[in-house]
């Protein structure tokens, strides 16, 4: 992808366009998950008897999917970070030599554990009706895997955002990094106007994609996903975690 090349990462507009496109994917994935009930047992360690695995059913499925995706080279791409990085198999596709865009290369900043935590504990209970539906445990977990993946990719994209900002304000940023001035870095990467725009756009997307356009005003018609929850998820989790990733990335930026 273009944003993975050194010559385009400098341009923050390119990165913003990718981030905007990812919002669609995230909203689509949440709409798909919201079809099913909460299914608390898939998040509970020990709820099912899974051979040779010590974790929840969702963790097991996430791991199984990551094993397949490692084979198709997903985690060689600098914008993808697995939830279970240990012991993944080699790709069956020939290796790609990605030009270094992030520094140090490869970059290892990860907040995947926090993402899984807020998604399963704060988001699922608010977008899904309560209860368990035995026939859809698998389908619900697959939707979770997609939601987690798209959130992880979006939030860790903060590393590219940070690199772009670093390159445009190299001197100022270098001073802040050397001083380990976390507050200063946080202020330097924050753009309140853009954040407000993101939230407004997300609300509109969740509402637009979540309503049958043939009957947008049908009485009592519930939207497929609660737009408020989507907005609050960005406000309380996605944006702050992205900034956390950005700051952490920058703090390690000079170690070449």
Binding footprint of its own copies on the chain (CB under 8 A):
1, 4, 20-21, 24-25, 28, 31-32, 35, 48-51, 57, 60-61, 64-65, 68-69, 71-74, 77, 92-94, 96, 98, 133-139, 141-142, 200-201, 204-205, 207-209, 212-214, 224
Q: How far is the CB of 162 from its own copies (least distance, A)?
A: 21
Tokens found for residue 232? 């609050």
- From the candidates 116, 120, 242, 248, give the one annotated as an active-site residue: 242
Nearer to its own copies, 193 or 214 (CB): 214
Query: Is 195 labeled as catalytic in the residue annotation?
Result: yes
Nearer to its own copies, 122 or 235 (CB): 235
Query: Is 154 labeled as catalytic in the residue annotation?
Result: yes
Is residue 84 helix, strand or coil?
Answer: coil
Nearer to its own copies, 92 or 193 (CB): 92
Distance of alpha carbon 48 from alpha carbon 56, whole angstroms: 8
Q: How far is the CB of 125 from its own copies (least distance, A)?
A: 21
- From the candidates 195, 207, 232, 235, give the one annotated as an active-site residue: 195
Q: How far is the CB of 185 from its own copies (least distance, A)?
A: 29
Is residue 67 helix, strand or coil?
Answer: helix
User: Nearest-CA neighbor of 4 among 77, 74, 104?
Assistant: 77
Q: How far is the CB of 227 from its own copies (least distance, A)?
A: 12
Q: What are phi and psi of 83, to 5 degrees?
A: -80, -30
Query: Is 114 labeled as catalytic in the residue annotation?
Result: no
Nearer to its own copies, 154 or 253 (CB): 154
Query: Is 95 labeled as catalytic in the residue annotation?
Result: no
Q: How far is the CB of 62 from its own copies (least distance, A)?
A: 11
- From the candidates 159, 165, 243, 253, give the one annotated as an active-site residue: 165
Please classify residue 63 by burial: count the beta carbons closer than 10 Å to its beta carbon, then call 0-12 exposed, 13-18 middle and 19+ buried: middle
Distance of alpha carbon 189 from alpha carbon 176, whole angstroms: 12
Query: Is 165 labeled as catalytic in the residue annotation?
Result: yes
Query: Is 153 labeled as catalytic in the residue annotation?
Result: no
User: Nearest-CA neighbor of 57 among 43, 69, 67?
Assistant: 43
Q: How far is the CB of 159 from its own copies (least distance, A)?
A: 17
Radius of gyration (C-alpha) of the chain in whole angstroms: 19
DSSP string, 106-169: S-----HHHHHHHIIIIIHHHHS-SS--GGGHHHHHHHHHHHHHHHHHHHHTHHHHHHHHHHHT
Nearer to its own copies, 31 or 245 (CB): 31
Distance of alpha carbon 7 from alpha carbon 2, whole angstroms: 9
Q: What is the dihedral of CA 49, 113, 72, 3, to 10 degrees?
A: 160
Query: Is 7 labeled as catalytic in the residue annotation?
Result: no
Task: State the catalytic residues.
Answer: 16, 154, 165, 191, 195, 242, 246
């Amino acid at each position: 992808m273009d944003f993975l090349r050194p010559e385009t990462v400098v341009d923050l507009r390119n990165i913003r366009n990718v981030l905007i496109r990812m919002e669609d994917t995230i909203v689509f994935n949440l709409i798909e998950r919201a079809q099913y009930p909460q299914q608390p047992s898939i998040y509970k360690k020990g709820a099912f008897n899974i051979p040779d695995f010590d974790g929840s059913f969702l963790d097991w499925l996430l791991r199984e999917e990551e094993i397949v995706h490692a084979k198709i080279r997903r985690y060689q791409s600098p914008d993808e970070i697995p939830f279970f990085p240990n012991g993944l198999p080699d790709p069956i596709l020939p290796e790609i030599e990605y030009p270094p865009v992030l520094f140090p290369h490869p970059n290892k900043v990860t907040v995947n554990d926090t993402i899984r935590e807020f998604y399963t504990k704060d988001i699922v209970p608010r977008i899904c009706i309560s209860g368990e539906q035995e026939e859809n445990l698998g389908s619900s977990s697959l939707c979770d895997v997609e939601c987690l993946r798209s959130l992880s990719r979006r939030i860790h994209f903060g590393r590219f955002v940070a690199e772009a900002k670093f390159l445009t304000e190299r001197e100022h940023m270098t001073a802040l990094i050397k001083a380990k001035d976390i507050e200063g870095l946080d202020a330097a990467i924050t753009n309140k106007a853009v954040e407000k725009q993101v939230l407004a756009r997300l609300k509109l997307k969740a509402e637009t994609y979540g309503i049958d356009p043939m009957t947008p005003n049908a009485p009592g018609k519930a939207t497929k996903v609660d737009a408020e929850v989507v907005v609050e998820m960005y406000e309380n989790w996605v944006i702050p975690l992205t900034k956390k990733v950005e700051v952490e990335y920058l703090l390690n930026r000079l170690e070449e």
